[in-house]
Amino acid sequence: MSRKPLHSLLAAAALTLASTCACAQTIIIAQHAPPPPRVEVVPPPRAGYVWDPGHWRWERGAYLWGPGHWQPVRVGYRWVPGHWAARGPNWRWVRGHWA
């Protein structure tokens, strides 16, 4: 088999796998620690929602602030906000999730 059809076949297989796997996620790794969180004014409680605080996101090689937002409640679960975790010399984003 020549290289071109093999590369096309591998690319198609990877694309199919990524589109069919609901667990596929982008892993975000930064080379330095995020700045301290900004002080946010948390709005008054809202029935059926939990406040997800703002955080620094890594975009194009720099940290950018993303403001907090309301997350619809899942009965029987608690919201764990996303956070940055040190992994060796780098920092990895851990997405917010229900636990």
User: What are the tens digits of pLDDT across the range 73-94?
Assistant: 999 999 999 999 999 999 999 9
Counting beta carbons within 10 angstroms of the beta carbon of residue 63, is it exposed (0 to 12), middle (13 to 18) or buried (19 or more)?
A: middle
The reported pTM is 0.68
pLDDT for 26: 84
Q: How many CB atoms lie within 10 A of CB 91?
A: 19
- Which of 25 and 62 is assigned the larger pLDDT? 62
Report residue 48: phi and psi, to 5°: 85, 5
Taking the C-alpha atoms of residue 4 and residue 6, their distance in angstroms, rounded to an integer, is: 5
Q: What is the pLDDT of residues 26-70, one digit of tens each?
A: 889 999 999 999 999 999 999 999 999 999 999 999 999 999 999
Taking the C-alpha atoms of residue 52 and residue 66, their distance in angstroms, rounded to an integer, is: 11
